[in-house]
């Protein structure tokens, strides 16, 4: 699987993402559609950040007008979408661009307490955002990657001056955008704004969160430069393009544990659902013997580092335990999992059953497993044994995808 991996330790902006994608092998020519539609020019150059050469991208008016000027006309959200419609983009690029623009618009609307359709962007700022967003989607398509990932993204720290006052970093819009992303948001490592709303919107839509860059056979590496320079850290966004190794995905986790001897079976039975709501990845309840030879239970919860506090609190409030232990497990190896729907034929009628498909980081399927509840429902309607429904569903998926029966 061809993978694009961002390193988010010094944040991201729209220009940094464009620079990183160009430096990693994206073709400058694919951006012409945006330049023609908006009357802008992508000016690509080089900068040295703490001794590291990186690619810069400035978006300028093609007529020589001021870049990112203050004041002047504004564009509505609907007008921004219409501009994207008129660019004659591929279906996938247009879909990505419009989805990113919508998430950015919704974040701004939430910040200002307005409806999405009533949200206005300054004309030059809107054109910059459109150029960043559509440009990123075009370059990702040009790189021909199957998967985009990012390590935890740094927001920075301190405060930033905005049109309505001084706000702590991350800014409100960035916070809203990060809440819908699969990647982790971290503070620091510098008291400056490292993650912009446009950068957050692009990564939230395109990139899957990972704890660290996955194992890759590296094809290219590029760095996109930010505007500012810092004393000890290069202000760059790193992009790596390569082929996945065929391994499982490494996911950073922690393990929470507690022992209880006075929790009812009903509460224990509901823990899986209640803790999963708080962010738990897995919950195990193990019978054990406690002090004074009393029977009890050991509760073990696998959780992502970012969710430790919330899950530990939920575990304590649900069970009444007086303490929760946290074990510093470094990571676990997990498959990429999707659920696909297949049709199972019984007496000439088709019945839909979900199958869980497990793949490695190269996209190769190594396990197919029918969803029990779906199979049980079909068995109830048809009288066919559950295990036979499951077998037919798994066989149907393998036949559809051309996978042999050794994949079990």
pLDDT digits (tens, 9 = 90+) for 60-85: 988 765 444 444 467 888 899 999 99
- The CA distance from 170 to 195, in Å, is 7
Residue 315 near residue 321 (C-beta atoms within 8 A): yes
Q: Where are the domains of the chain?
A: 2-247, 253-329, 335-401
As its CATH architecture, domain 253-329 has 2-Layer Sandwich (3.30)
Q: In the numeric block, which tokens belong to residue 317? A: 């409030």
Task: Provide, rounded to the nearest whole percent, the portion of the chain with pLDDT above 70.
Answer: 95
pLDDT digits (tens, 9 = 90+) for 298-336: 999 999 888 899 999 999 999 999 999 998 776 788 888
The model scores a pTM over 0.75: no
Domain 253-329 and domain 335-401, same fold? Reply is: no
Tell which CATH classification among 3.10.20.300, 3.30.9.60, 3.10.270.10, 3.40.50.300 matches the domain 335-401.
Answer: 3.10.20.300
- The CA distance from 223 to 217, in Å, is 18
Q: Element (H or E) spanning 379, and its range?
A: helix 372-382
pLDDT along the chain (408 residues), means of 10: 93 98 98 94 97 96 59 76 94 95 92 84 77 97 94 94 84 93 92 96 93 88 96 96 80 90 93 93 95 93 90 96 87 84 93 93 85 96 96 94 64
Closest residue by Cα to residue 299 from 260, 265, 261: 260
């Amino acid at each position: 699987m061809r993978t694009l991996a961002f390193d988010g330790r010094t944040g991201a902006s729209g220009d940094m993402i464009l620079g990183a994608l160009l430096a990693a092998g994206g073709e400058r020519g694919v951006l012409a559609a945006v330049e023609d539609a908006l009357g802008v020019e992508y000016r690509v150059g080089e900068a040295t950040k703490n001794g590291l050469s990186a690619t810069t991208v400035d978006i300028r008016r093609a007529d020589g007008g001021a870049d990112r000027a203050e004041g002047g006309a504004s564009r509505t959200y609907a007008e921004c979408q219409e501009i994207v419609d008129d660019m004659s983009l591929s279906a996938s690029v247009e879909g990505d661009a419009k989805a990113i623009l919508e998430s950015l618009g919704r974040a701004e609307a939430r910040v200002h307490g307005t409806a999405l359709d009533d949200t206005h962007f300054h004309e030059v700022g809107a054109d910059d955002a459109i150029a960043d967003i559509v440009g990123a989607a075009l370059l990702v398509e040009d790189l021909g990657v199957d998967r985009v990932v990012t390590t935890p993204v740094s927001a920075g720290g301190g405060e930033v001056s905005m049109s309505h006052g001084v706000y702590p970093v991350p800014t409100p819009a960035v916070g809203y955008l990060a809440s819908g992303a699969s990647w982790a948001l971290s503070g620091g490592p510098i008291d400056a704004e490292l993650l912009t709303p446009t950068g957050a919107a692009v990564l939230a839509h395109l990139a899957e969160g990972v704890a660290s860059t996955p194992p890759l056979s590296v094809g290219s590496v590029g760095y996109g430069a930010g505007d500012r320079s810092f004393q000890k850290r290069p202000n760059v966004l790193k992009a790596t393009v390569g082929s996945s190794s065929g391994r499982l995905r490494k996911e950073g986790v922690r393990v929470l544990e507690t022992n209880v001897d006075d929790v009812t079976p009903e509460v224990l039975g509901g823990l899986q659902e209640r803790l999963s709501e708080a962010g738990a990845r897995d919950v195990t309840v193990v019978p054990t013997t406690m002090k004074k030879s009393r029977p009890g239970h050991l509760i073990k919860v696998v959780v992502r580092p970012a969710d430790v506090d919330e899950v530990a609190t939920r575990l304590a409030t649900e069970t009444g335990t007086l303490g929760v232990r946290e074990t510093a497990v470094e990571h676990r190896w997990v498959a990429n999992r999707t659920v696909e729907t297949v049709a199972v034929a019984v007496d000439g009628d088709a019945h839909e059953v979900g199958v869980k498909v497990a793949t490695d980081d190269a996209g190769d399927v190594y396990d197919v497993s029918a969803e029990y509840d779906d199979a049980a429902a079909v068995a109830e309607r048809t009288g066919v044994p559950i295990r036979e429904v499951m077998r037919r569903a798994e066989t149907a998926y393998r036949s559809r995808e051309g996978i042999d029966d050794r994949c079990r």
